[in-house]
Structure formats: structure tokens, C-alpha cells
Amino acid sequence: MAREPLREEIERAAALYPDADWVSGRVEESGKSNVVLIPGDPVPEVVFRMARTRGEALTQPHEAALVDALAPHVPWIVPESRSPVDAAGGIIQRFIPGAAHPLREGDSTILGRIVADLMAVPHDAYAALVGAPWDAEPEWTQTRSDAAIDALDPDVRESAAAVLAAVREIEDAARSAVPQGLVHGDLAGRNMHWRDGELVGILDWDKASRWDPAINLAHLSLWHGQDVIDEAAPDEFFAARAHVWNGAFALTRVADAALRGGVKTWGRLLRKTQPRIVRAGEAAGTCLELLR
């Protein structure tokens, strides 16, 4: 959804970067944490990203530092800083052209290369700037686990329990049997800009962490389809972990809904999530065998 910029937004953007047509620009409001003013220039070079809340404004310098640190180490564009952060959490960043990839489509070779590119980023480039793994996903407490499993059809519950057991094993094996790498945290949809079948750039790094790189492939599968996991994974163990994470994401949706007291569309939610959980349960066995 887009709207015309407010005078205050135009003035803030121009104060940081006067060489753009902010007056004729548009404000994209689809982001959860930020809104973005795109100038009206024929070929924009920058955007003005504005935090929605005071809390988000306070995190903007940290997130900008992470993106700037990653830029030299990736083969595609990230929204590098083109100004300091203003007092209200606004910043000029590099414009990333392109659009979201069509849903349920994707070249597994290209997707596998993206996963490899993220794994190749040196740890020292981002270690001090990313959150712990549990910053991006809720912890699987007993209450949360029980809520998710009890909400499922009876013939799916065993698969769900296997998925959560595998998640715990992966967490226990971190830094040993399970390698760690840069995890974007929301690698899908409008956060990835494509042109002519090639990735142009990746936005929104606020959920980044150092964790199991198979999470990146699991997130890609949410947009491009679960079949890409086996095709794009570098090996069987990586694919098994990606399927497990895919199932864990499905269980997260079920747990969230159950703990809120349910949703009106339970049937639809279960139709979308339970096949993923069953597939992940099958992979959990492979994952546990390879971990042991």
C-alpha cells in the first residue's frame, strides 16, 4: 500500500539527502517496523526509511551498522546507509530495484547459491551485530509445545513431537555437529528483490542471527515451495534440518493460534500446516540419525 508523503517526511528526507525528488515520491507502508519513502526520480538511487515507533527508532543505528558490515561480503545489494540516522529513526539507504519473486516458483540452483552465499559471509563481519538465535523464534517451552501438539489432528501429533525433539537436538548440537552461519531470519517475499530470474538484493535484516544456515533454506521454502529443499540443499543432513525447521515454523503458527484461544479458520490453518509437519517428522528421523 502506498500513499503520498507528508510534508514532515519530505523535510526529514531532504535534510539528510537533498539530491532526490522527495516531493513527487511515494510512501510504502507494508513493513511492520518501518515505512519507506521512495523518491519520484526516474531511476531512484536511495530511499528514506522511517521507524514506526520510538523503540524501533532506537534500534535503527544498530541495524544499519549490520547491513553496512555485510555489504562487502555478499554478491547482491543490501540497503547500505547513505546518511546518519536522524533523531526520529529515519535513515537514507541505498535503493534496491526489482520485485518479489512469483509465489511457489523458483530455480533451486539459484536458491541454493543464495544459501551458500550467506554461509560464506565471515563470522567476524557480523558476530557482534546480530541477535541470539532465540531472538527470532519463541522458545519451545512445555506449555507452548503442548498447546501446538494438542491442537493437531491425532495422526499428526507423533510427527509434531518428532519435529520438536529434533529441534532440541539441533540446538544441543550447535557449534559441534551443526555448523553455524549467518541467518537472515525472514528470507522470503518482499524482503527479496528479483529481476529477470536473478536476485538483486535482500532487505530487512532486523531478525538476523548466527545460527543453523538450514533455516535460510527453510524460509525460502515457505515462499518458493517445500520441494526446493531437497533440490537446493548441499547435502542430506542440511536438507533434513531445513525440513525440520519448516515443520517448526508450521508448529509456531499453530502454537500462536492455540495460545490466543484459537482462530475462526482452524480448518484452513491445519490444512496448510499439517502436511509440512508430517514431512518434517519424516526428516526428523534422518536428522536424529545423522546427529548421533
Q: What is the pLDDT of residue 132?
A: 78
| Domain membership flag for residue 174 | yes
Same domain, 17 and 126: no
- Read off the pLDDT of residues 186-195 as tens digits, 9 standing for 90 and up: 999 999 999 9
pLDDT per position as a tens digit, 196-230 = 999 999 999 999 999 999 999 999 999 999 999 99
Domain assignment present for 47: yes
In a domain, 238, yes or no: yes
* Within a domain: 103: no
Last residue in a domain, options 94, 126, 161: 94
User: Do 221 and 153 lie in a common domain?
Assistant: yes
143 lies in the same domain as 287: yes
74 lies in the same domain as 123: no
User: Is there a single domain that holds both residue 9 and residue 121?
Assistant: no
Mean pLDDT of 26-34: 87
Q: If we measure between CA atoms, which residue out of 172, 166, 135, 164 comes closest to residue 59?
A: 135
Residue 101 lies in a domain: no
Mean pLDDT value of segment 90-116:
97
Q: How many domains does one find in the chain?
A: 2
- Of 42, 69, 94, at which residue does a domain stop? 94
Domain presence at residue 102 = no
Based on the fold, state whether residues 44 and 187 are members of the same structural domain.
no
Whole-number pLDDT of residue 177:
85
Whichever domain contains 80, its CATH number is 3.30.200.20
Residue 32 has pLDDT above 90, yes or no: no
**Where is the domain boundary, 94, 129, 162?**
94
Q: Are residues 86 and 121 located together in one domain of the fold?
A: no
| 182/113 same-domain check | yes
For residue 175, is pLDDT > 80?
A: no
Q: What percent of the chain has pLDDT over 70?
A: 99
Please check whether residue 99 lies inside any domain of the structure.
no
Same domain, 218 and 287: yes
The answer to whether residues 160 and 35 belong to one domain is no
Say yes or no: 196 and 280 in one domain: yes
| Model confidence pLDDT, tens digit, residues 225-250 | 999 999 999 999 999 999 999 999 99
Question: Is 15 within 8 Å of 86 (Cβ atoms)?
Answer: yes
Structural domain range at position 227: 108-291
- Residues 141 and 89 occupy one common structural domain: no
Residue 100 lies in a domain: no
In degrees and rounded to multiples of 5, residue 32 shows phi and psi of -75, -35
Q: Which residues contact 55 (CB under 8 A, 6 or more apart)?
A: none
CATH number at residue 112: 3.90.1200
